[in-house]
């Protein structure tokens, strides 16, 4: 604005934003005077202030009716108030009951709802998958969770089972709860006893190790004590076992991240034209593109929630959508996020993203055990 926004203008703008979020309809001065201000402020006064707000770019007029809707810049100001003073409300100061009490009660109820949704779950992949579902259900948008690169996972247990001559089923269980199985074709046949011995060797020496590190360490040992470990590799499928990782994960997966998406159907009801909606859905299908967008906006070294309104700069298909995201620590660097329309409950969405990120980190470091019934 050419001049600072007055407290009354800020109050009116907040009321317009919250009414628009609630109804989805353009707001007129008369409606605002009756509903948001209970006739404590005249319609003429509100109309004059709305004219100044519109002139400054905070309100838009979608059609020729008298109603106005908030602009993207207005939403930025509103969200800035929520994120800069999380225990204060952008609402009118005479809200009754006192806002801090209502805020804390609503926040605690949301946290309890989130914790209930994670009861009985363990393992990074399961927790991240549930995260996307919970965030979608709590918002009017899409829930996203981006998991750590596959190569960062740690070995928990490996098992070999003889299927036929020179054919072995290898099952790898990681610390995050991921289970991978592959049928290996060996150069020579091995008995069930030899397979069991090989599995015991790997489980005893390499439990808790990064999978790539297991493979590299075995290669180092074989090179260092070629005779002894050559006999080991010939007698046991240790080399084949560690090669399971490269066979299981597609080439380049060490640099990729797993993307969990839920709630795409929430976007179907958006008042967008067919071409824009098709572009949005196409962008969501390109999961690697989502990883790039999140990495562009979310700094994993920070702990704060980021709200981004200009996603179309990264991908035209994201025009009209808002990203609310936060870094999380669960078996490595991860990100949890909501992707939704500008008209959403920002207070609830920001709170949900922030709390789930904290919850995943507490589980990851063992500050709390996976929630149980």
Return the pLDDT at 88: 45
Q: Give the CATH number of domain 7-95.
A: 1.10.10.10
Return the pLDDT at 89: 46
Q: Give the CATH number of domain 151-253.
A: 3.30.390.60
3-state class of 152 per DSSP?
Answer: helix
Return the pLDDT at 34: 87
Return the pLDDT at 66: 66
* Every domain range in the chain assigned CATH 3.30.390.60: 151-253
CA distances to 309, 319, 322, 337 from 278, in Å = 20, 12, 17, 21
SS3 content of the chain, % helix, strand, coil (to 5): 50, 15, 30
* Every domain range in the chain assigned CATH 1.10.10.10: 7-95
Return the pLDDT at 137: 92
Return the pLDDT at 132: 93
**Residues of the chain predicted below pLDDT 50:** 1, 86, 88-98, 237-255
CA distances to 30, 32, 100, 106, 352 from 93, in Å = 21, 16, 11, 18, 24
* Every domain range in the chain assigned CATH 3.30.450.40: 104-148+257-364
Each residue's pLDDT tens digit, 242-261: 444 444 443 444 445 788 88
Residues 215 and 241: their CA atoms lie apart, in Å, by 9
Return the pLDDT at 144: 93
Strands in the chain per DSSP E: 59-60, 69-70, 142-146, 155-164, 167-174, 179-185, 259-262, 306-308, 321-329, 333-341
Q: Give the CATH number of domain 104-148+257-364.
A: 3.30.450.40
């Amino acid at each position: 604005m050419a001049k600072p926004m007055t407290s009354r203008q800020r109050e009116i703008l907040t009321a317009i934003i919250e009414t628009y979020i609630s109804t989805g309809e353009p707001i007129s001065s008369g409606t605002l005077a009756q509903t948001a201000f209970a006739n404590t402020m005249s319609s003429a006064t509100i109309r004059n202030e709305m004219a100044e707000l519109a002139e400054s770019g905070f309100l838009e007029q979608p059609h020729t009716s008298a109603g106005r809707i908030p602009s993207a810049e207005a939403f930025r100001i509103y969200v800035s108030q929520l994120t800069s003073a999380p225990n204060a409300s952008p609402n009118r100061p005479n809200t009754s009951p006192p806002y801090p009490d209502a805020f804390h009660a609503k926040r605690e109820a949301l946290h309890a709802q989130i914790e209930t949704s994670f009861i009985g779950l363990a393992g990074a992949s399961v927790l991240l998958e549930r995260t996307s579902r919970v965030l979608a259900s709590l918002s009017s948008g899409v829930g996203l969770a981006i998991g750590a690169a596959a190569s960062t996972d740690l070995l928990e247990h490996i098992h070999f089972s003889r299927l036929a001559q020179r054919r072995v089923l290898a099952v790898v269980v990681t610390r995050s709860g991921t289970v991978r199985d592959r049928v290996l074709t060996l150069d020579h046949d091995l008995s069930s006893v030899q397979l069991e011995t090989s599995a015991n060797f790997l489980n005893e020496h390499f439990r808790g190790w990064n999978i790539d590190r297991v493979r590299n360490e075995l290669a180092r040992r074989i090179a260092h004590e070629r005779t002894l470990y050559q006999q080991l590799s010939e007698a046991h499928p240790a080399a084949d076992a560690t090669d399971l990782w490269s066979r299981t994960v597609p080439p380049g997966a060490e640099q990729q991240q797993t993307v969990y998406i839920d709630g795409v159907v929430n976007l179907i009801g958006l008042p967008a034209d067919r071409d824009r909606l098709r572009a949005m859905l196409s962008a969501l299908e390109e999961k690697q593109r989502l990883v790039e967008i999140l990495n562009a906006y979310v700094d994993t070294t920070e702990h704060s929630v980021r709200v981004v309104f200009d996603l179309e700069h990264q991908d035209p298909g994201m025009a009209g959508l808002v990203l609310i995201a936060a870094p999380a620590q669960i078996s490595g660097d991860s990100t949890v996020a909501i992707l939704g329309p500008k008209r959403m409950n920002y207070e609830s969405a920001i709170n949900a993203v922030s709390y789930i990120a904290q919850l995943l980190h507490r589980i990851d470091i063992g500050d709390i055990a996976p929630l149980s019934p």
